[in-house]
C-alpha cells in the first residue's frame, strides 16, 4: 500500500477519506469493521499508520502499551510538543470515522507543514492510541491513561473473552508488559493535547455547521440495579397479591426517563435488562438492569443520581420488592481549556466557519490525557449523529473543513505556558 493516497493536498477531504477507507479495510471480520487492541489487525493498522507518519516527515515509535507515535520536530530539536491524537481500535461492527479521522487529520496537518518546509517553535506529536473503546479487555482508555501516567498495572491481569491476559497479549504483540510506565510523558515535555473527532451526535447537523468546539466531556455514572420480588404461577396469583419484579422495574425505568428529561446537557439511559426466571408462564421474581447517567456538570449529575436512587427506592417500597444498587463506573466531567477553545473558534472563523460550542456526551482519550495537560477538542459533523455503527458517515467537505481548522489551530497555537 502506498505511503501517499494521492497527489492531492494532505488536507483535502478526498485524500483523508481515501486513507480512512484503507485503514477501515483492516478488520478481523469480512464485511464488518472490528479491530481490537493488541490483535493482528491492530499490528497491521499501526504499521500502516507508521508508514503514513514517516511519509509526513515524522520520526515514529511504538510505545510500551502499543500506541503508535509520530514526532515532527520544531525549529530546533527537543522542544516540548503539542500532542494531537485519537484512537485506532474499534467496537465490533464499527463505523470507520470514530477515532481514525482524528489520527489521520493530525498526520495530514504535519504532512502539509512538511510539504511547505515549515517548522514551528514547538514539536508536534501525533498519537494513534491502541485502546480507547475497551472492547477486548473491558478497560477503556488504556493507551491514553498510559501516556498520562495514570495507568493501573492491575489491568495487566484482566482477561479477554478467550481467557488471554492483557500482559500476555502485550508480549505476543511484541511489547514488554513490565515496561508500561515508560509510556508516560513528562509534563514539562507537553504543551497541550487536542483531539479532532466526529461528533457522534446530531447537534451539528441540526445546526447546519460542519465543525464545533467542545466545551467539556461529560462525566458518567453507571449503575446496576437489582430488583427482587417473588416468582409465582402466572395463572394462579391474583394481580393484587403479586410482587412482580419486572413490573416494578418497568415503572423504575420510566422514572429514570422522567428524571433525566428536561435538564439541559443531562441524559439517562437504561441500556440492558434481564428478568428471571424468564419463563412465559412465571411471574418474574428477579430483574437486573443498568442505568447510564451523564452530564457535563458534576453537581447536576450527582444530584440526579441521588434523585434517581430515591425515586427507585420509593417505587420498590410501594410495590413490596427489594432493591439494590451497584456502581459499575464513575468518572468526573472534564472541561476543555478556555484558551484552547478560543483558539479553535478563531481557527474556524479564519476558515469562514461558525463553530458552535457543545459538550461531548461520549468519552474520549482526551478525558485521560487531561490528567497530564490542558485539552481541547474539535467535533466534525456526522450524518444523523450515527456512530458505533457501519452507517457512520461524514462528507469529504466536512472532513476537509475539520482538517483545515486543525491546521490553522496548529499554525497559530499559543500554549498556556511560555515557550522555551
Q: Which segments are annotated as binding site for allantoate? A: 222, 281, 294
**Cβ atoms within 10 A of the Cβ of 29, count?**
11
**Cell numbers of 67, please?**
500506541
Give yes or no for a contact between 335 and 295, defined as CB atoms under 8 angstroms apart: no
**Cβ atoms within 10 A of the Cβ of 186, count?**
9
Sign of CA dihedral 384, 390, 395, 399: positive
Give the closest residue to 13 by CA, choosing from 294, 413, 396, 404: 396
The half-sphere exposure of 229 on its side-chain side, counting CA atoms within 13 A, is 26
**Cβ atoms within 10 A of the Cβ of 292, count?**
18
DSSP-derived secondary structure for 164-208: -BHHHHHHHHT--GGGGGGGPPPGGGEEEEEEEEE-SSSHHHHHT
**Cell numbers of 347, please?**
481557527
CA distance 370 to 145: 10
- Asked whether the bond before 52 is cis by omega within 30 degrees of 0, the reply is no
| Phi, psi of 269, rounded to the nearest 5 degrees | -135, 130
Give the closest residue to 340 by CA, choosing from 388, 405, 265: 405
Q: For 284-316, give the secondary structure using H, E and C.
A: CCEEEEEEEEEECCHHHHHHHHHHHHHHHHHHH
Distance of CA 163 to the CA centre of its chain: 25
CA distance 248 to 244: 6
Q: Mutual orientation of helices 13-24 and 40-55 as an angle, nearest 10°?
A: 150
Annotated binding site for Zn(2+): which residue ranges? 87, 98, 133, 197, 388
Intra-chain end-to-end CA distance of the chain, in Å: 40
Annotated binding site: which residue ranges? 87, 98, 133, 197, 222, 281, 294, 388
Give yes or no for a contact between 88 and 42, defined as CB atoms under 8 angstroms apart: yes
Query: Which CA distances in Å does 25 have to 1, 30, 267, 349?
Result: 12, 9, 34, 35
Amino acid at each position: 500500500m502506498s505511503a501517499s493516497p494521492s497527489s492531492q493536498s494532505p488536507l483535502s477531504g478526498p485524500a483523508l477519506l481515501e486513507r480512512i477507507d484503507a485503514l477501515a479495510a483492516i478488520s478481523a471480520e469480512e464485511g464488518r469493521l472490528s479491530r481490537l487492541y493488541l490483535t493482528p489487525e491492530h499490528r497491521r493498522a499501526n504499521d500502516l499508520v507508521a508508514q503514513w507518519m514517516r511519509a509526513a516527515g515524522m520520526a515514529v515509535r511504538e510505545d510500551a502499551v502499543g500506541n503508535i507515535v509520530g514526532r515532527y520536530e520544531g525549529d530546533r530539536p527537543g522542544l516540548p510538543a503539542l500532542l494531537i491524537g485519537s484512537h485506532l481500535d474499534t467496537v465490533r461492527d464499527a463505523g470507520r470515522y470514530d477515532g481514525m479521522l482524528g489520527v489521520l487529520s493530525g498526520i495530514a496537518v504535519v504532512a502539509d507543514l512538511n510539504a511547505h518546509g515549515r517548522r514551528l517553535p514547538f514539536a508536534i506529536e501525533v498519537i494513534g492510541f491502541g485502546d480507547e473503546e475497551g472492547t477486548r479487555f473491558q478497560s477503556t482508555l488504556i493507551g491514553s491513561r498510559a501516556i498520562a501516567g495514570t495507568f493501573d498495572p492491575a489491568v495487566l491481569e484482566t482477561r479477554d473473552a478467550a481467557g488471554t491476559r492483557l500482559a500476555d497479549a502485550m508480549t505476543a504483540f511484541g511489547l514488554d508488559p513490565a515496561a508500561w510506565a515508560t509510556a508516560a510523558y513528562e509534563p514539562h515535555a507537553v504543551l497541550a493535547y487536542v483531539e479532532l473527532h466526529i461528533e457522534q451526535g446530531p447537534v451539528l447537523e441540526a445546526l447546519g455547521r460542519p465543525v464545533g468546539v467542545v466545551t467539556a466531556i461529560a462525566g458518567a455514572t453507571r449503575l446496576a440495579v437489582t430488583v427482587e420480588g417473588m416468582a409465582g404461577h402466572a395463572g394462579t396469583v391474583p394481580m393484587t397479591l403479586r410482587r412482580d419484579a419486572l413490573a416494578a422495574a418497568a415503572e423504575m425505568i420510566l422514572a429514570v426517563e422522567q428524571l433525566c428529561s428536561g435538564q439541559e446537557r443531562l441524559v439517562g439511559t437504561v441500556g440492558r435488562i434481564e428478568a428471571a426466571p424468564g419463563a412465559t408462564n412465571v411471574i418474574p421474581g428477579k430483574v437486573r438492569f443498568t442505568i447510564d447517567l451523564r452530564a457535563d456538570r458534576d453537581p447536576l449529575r450527582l444530584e440526579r443520581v441521588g434523585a434517581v436512587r430515591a425515586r427507585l427506592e420509593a417505587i420498590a417500597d410501594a410495590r413490596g420488592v427489594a432493591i439494590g444498587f451497584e456502581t459499575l463506573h464513575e468518572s468526573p466531567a472534564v472541561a476543555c481549556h478556555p484558551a484552547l477553545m478560543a483558539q479553535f473558534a478563531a481557527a474556524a472563523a479564519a476558515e469562514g466557519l461558525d463553530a458552535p460550542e457543545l459538550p461531548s456526551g461520549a468519552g474520549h482519550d482526551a478525558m485521560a490525557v487531561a490528567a497530564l495537560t490542558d485539552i481541547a477538542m474539535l467535533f466534525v459533523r456526522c450524518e444523523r449523529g450515527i456512530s458505533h455503527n457501519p452507517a457512520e458517515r461524514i462528507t469529504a467537505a466536512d472532513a476537509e473543513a475539520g482538517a483545515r481548522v486543525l491546521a490553522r489551530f496548529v499554525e497559530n497555537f499559543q500554549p498556556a505556558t511560555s515557550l522555551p
